[in-house]
Amino acid sequence: MDFFQIVEDRRSMRKYADTPVEAQKLQKILEAVNRAPSAGNLQAYEVYVVRKPEQRRELVKASGEQEFLAEAPLVLIFCAEPDRAAERYKKRGTQLYCIQDATIACTFAMLAAKAQGLDTVWVGAFDEAAVSEIVHIPSGQRPIAMLPIGYAGKMPSVRPRRELSDLIHEV
């Protein structure tokens, strides 16, 4: 699939079909994640794969009833790991780079999913402490984004964007 077509076709999916994600597709997504750039190549993030229905139901509660977290067959949770970035980058590593690392990794997962006919939605609105407890995330790590992955239930319409002329500044 052409890269620009993937970018064009991707949109936030909040309704999923009851179809499992093939193991080899998930593997390709995770390998794409592992190719994401990171500050100093330190990869200051961890990824949790959540499949258990009971855990996904708990994630729904921890995110203000975002039901699609239980509907999609799997959810990836991207966590920043400040300690990995701390030694080399100090405050900039712990406050910025580890979050950027996790964010870029999640973006790679989104696009790798779409390239294989799967859909996702970035979930940022959740109770971090509750999510950490549900998935047993170690205390040094911070969940940054959750990404349900699955086959489309109902394709949403394209969301509008700002004009490029409003967004881009030639200086």
Residue ranges that bind ligand FMN, judged by CB under 6 A: 11-12, 14, 66, 121-125, 159
DSSP class of residue 16 equals B
Min dist CB 157 to ligand FMN, Å, is: 9
Residue 8, classified by CB atoms within 10 Å of its CB into exposed (0-12), middle (13-18) or buried (19+), is exposed
Nearest distance in Å: CB 45, ligand FMN? 15
Which of residues 40 and 104 has its CB atom nearest to ligand FMN in the complex? 104
In sequence order, what are the beta bridge partners of 150? 119
Smaller CB separation from ligand FMN, 14 or 142:
14
Cβ nearer to ligand FMN, comparing 8 with 22: 8
* Nearest-approach distance from CB 144 to ligand FMN, in angstroms: 9
Residue 38: Cβ within 10 Å count? 18
Q: At closest approach, how far in Å is the CB of 15 from ligand FMN?
A: 11
Tell me how far, at minimum, the Cβ of 73 lies from ligand FMN, in Å: 18
Q: Which residues are CB-contacts of 162 (< 8 A; sequence separation ≥ 6)?
A: none
DSSP, residue by residue, 66-133: -THHHHSSEEEEEEE-HHHHHHHHHHHIIIIIHHHHHHHHHHHHHHHHHHTT-EE--B--S-HHHHHH
Contact at 8 Å (CB) between 102 and 79?
Answer: yes
Given the complex with ligand FMN, which of 55 and 107 has the nearer CB atom? Answer: 107
Closer of 6 and 83 to ligand FMN (Cβ): 6
Indicate the residue whose CB is closest to ligand FMN: 124
53: how many CB neighbours lie within 10 A of its CB?
10
